[in-house]
Structure 1
Amino acid sequence: MVSGEWSLIIFSILTQCAVGIWVVAIGLRTFTKGTEPNIAAELTWRPLLVVGPLMCIALVISIFHLGSPIQAYASVANLLTSWLSREIVFSGLFLFFWVISILVYRRGTSSVILGWVTSFLGLIAVFSMASIYYTTPIPAWASPNTYISFFATMIILGSLASTMFMETSKDFTAHQGARTTLWKLSLFTMGVLLIQGAFFIVNSEVHSFLPVLYCILLFLGGINFLVYSFQRYNKSGNGLRPVFYLSLVLLFSAQVLGRYLFYSSAVPIMG
């Protein structure tokens, strides 16, 4: 694994995490707004704020892979034909609309449409990122598993990071609606996690240490997140907060390891 691939690992995971946080937070604002309009906005404010800094870090790291800012500028010239150009453009548009959205939300204005437009730009950025690899002559990458893996990472890390920042709010456990939403979010995340793990097992040779370790980290992290969320749902989870942080470490480590295995599988078709 060369250093350039590590920059790709960090860039892709941070980008997907940032988009995931935004999508999850906007989803929570949209679907819990009917019963607790102010609580949903207050709980998701901190997760929304962290998206921009994460994207800025990811974009700076991406320059190290491209080699120089001049190459980064030149890479957007082929927007109509290059998935790399689309990835860069839509990542930049996502960051730009994040700034607009935050300024609007800071004024106390709630714009569901603006939030979902920003989400759409982020989703297109992740789709473009996956398409870069899907369109290569590398069998392990030219598979639907590439899209599943990238979007699953987005949802899993987005859910965990959103929960982590919502934890800092004093209203997080004070309202039944918020606790119910967390429980539903953890169930959804576990479902996505199972799909990611199943496709990894089907599309990989799970016989060596690292793939087995990846599966263990993934499933243990998901179980820990479910246990924590269930305890929160029953309003008895304060003592189990370390369980959540353990799930955060396990699942983040799993995603990094999974992405490492993804890049390590780059064996092109021999002509």
Structure 2
Amino acid sequence: MMGEWALVLFTVLSQMAAGAFVSLWVLDTVKGNMKEATGTFVSQGVVLAMGLGLLASLGHLGHPLEAYRASAHFGTSWLSREVVLFGLFFFLSVVYYWQWRTGGARHLVGISGSIVALMAVPTSGMVYVLAAIPAWNNFGPVLFFLLTAVTLGPLYAAVLLTIKQYSLGKSLFQFVIAALFCSFMSFALYLSLLISAGDVTALTGWNTMLSITFWLRLFIGWIAPLGILGYVLAQQQWHISRYMILAFALVLIGELLGRELFYGSAVALTMFGL
């Protein structure tokens, strides 16, 4: 159980950090009016999230001090690629933070970090595309990991920005609403495909739907934040920070529940000797 939650925290936090990094870089590049103190604060938050994710990942290892060995097979192993890319992303995040803090040239580091982040997230998903687990041996892991980065990352960046009283426009709300809707529809399609597949895969789909975690994930991670953000957009109240903070908290809880459901779906099959 501890190892499972170590993976839950690592994957969610690392994807959140990747999405937040790209969001910060895009805002800095497109708008170009962000104060250095604000960028420093947000980039520091990215480093903190990624650092906590890497620290949590050690809980999955029997010998944490030998974690470096996981990077030894970059050419043949998706796990090695995940370790190397997220390690590189963490390094670039620290450099990006330092460039913000010191006022140094950060454009190249921002581009490099964004590219590595966009490579690391799908690589992490590919670790779980396994023939031995039919429910994972499809587009699901990569797609859902990317959607976590696309939904949770911008929300995390937005919360940090609102703390520094940075003015957020409606475009960010529109983007997150679209991303959350795509996440919900993708999962609905994925679940329907599992159930219609038959045999072990269908059992995974039914186990998922019958789980209380699934219904909590549905209401907390999708319906509630979509309702809040939709209200904010309709009322044009995106300047009120509490809405963004509440939406972020709900989506974060929803993603943690969803990831626990993801890992639990594989564990549940062993109960039936499959």
Say yes or no: TM over 0.5.
Answer: yes
| 1:213 to 1:64, Cα distance in 2 relative to 1, 3 A | closer
- C-alpha displacement at 1:8, in angstroms? 0.5
- C-alpha displacement at 1:228, in angstroms? 3.5
Q: Which amino acid letter does the alignment assign opposite residue 216 of structure 2?
A: L
2:199 counterpart of 1:196: no
Question: 1:3 is matched with which residue?
Answer: 2
Report Cα offsets for 1:22-59 as digits up to 9, x if no partner.
Answer: 111111111112xxx345x5544321111112222211
| 1:4 to 1:90, Cα distance in 2 relative to 1, 3 A | same
Residues 28, 44 of structure 1: 8 Å contact kept: no
d(CA) in 1 for partners of 2:157, 2:242 = 16
Residues 228, 244 of structure 1: 8 Å contact kept: no
Question: 2:228 is matched with which residue?
Answer: 224
Partner SS for 1:79: coil
Q: Which amino acid letter does the alignment assign opposite residue 48 of structure 2?
A: P
Report Cα offsets for 1:197-250 as digits up to 9, x if no partner.
Answer: 11211222474333233222212112313433565x557x44xx4333322222
Partner SS for 2:163: coil
Q: Which amino acid letter does the alignment assign opposite residue 9 of structure 1?
A: V
| 1:73 to 1:42, Cα distance in 2 relative to 1, 3 A | closer
Most deviating of 3-12 and 243-252: 243-252
Residues 156, 192 of structure 1: 8 Å contact kept: yes
2:70 counterpart of 1:75: yes
Q: 29, 47, 55: which one pairs with 2:50?
A: 55
- C-alpha displacement at 1:188, in angstroms? 1.2
| 1:63 to 1:234, Cα distance in 2 relative to 1, 3 A | closer
Residues 4, 64 of structure 1: 8 Å contact kept: yes
d(CA) in 2 for partners of 1:73, 1:14 = 20
Question: 1:127 is matched with which residue?
Answer: 122
d(CA) in 2 for partners of 1:137, 1:196 = 25
Q: 158, 169, 185: which one pairs with 1:163?
A: 158
The alignment covers a number of residue pairs equal to 253
- C-alpha displacement at 1:130, in angstroms? 0.4
Question: 1:265 is matched with which residue?
Answer: 265
Scaled by the length of structure 2, the TM-score of the pair is 0.83
Report Cα offsets for 1:139-179 as digits up to 9, x if no partner.
Answer: 22122121121111112111111111111223x2xxxxx43
Residues 92-241 of structure 1 mapped to structure 2, 5 A cutoff: 92-170=87-165, 172=166, 178-180=167-169, 183-204=170-191, 205=205, 207-208=209-210, 209-217=212-220, 218-228=222-232, 231=235, 233=236, 237-238=239-240, 241=241
Q: CA RMSD in A?
A: 2.3
- C-alpha displacement at 1:255, in angstroms? 0.5
- C-alpha displacement at 1:110, in angstroms? 4.1
Report Cα offsets for 1:100-142 as digits up to 9, x if no partner.
Answer: 2222222323432320101111222212110100144212212
Question: 1:14 is matched with which residue?
Answer: 13
| 1:52 to 1:242, Cα distance in 2 relative to 1, 3 A | closer
Question: 1:247 is matched with which residue?
Answer: 247
In structure 2, stretches of 5+ residues that fail to align are 192-204
d(CA) in 2 for partners of 1:105, 1:147 = 31
In structure 1, stretches of 5+ residues that fail to align are 173-177
d(CA) in 1 for partners of 2:27, 2:139 = 28
Identity of aligned residues (%): 27
Q: Which amino acid letter does the alignment assign opposite residue 197 of structure 1?
A: F
Most deviating of 103-112 and 132-141: 103-112
Residues 24, 155 of structure 1: 8 Å contact kept: no
- C-alpha displacement at 1:90, in angstroms? 0.9
Partner SS for 1:133: coil
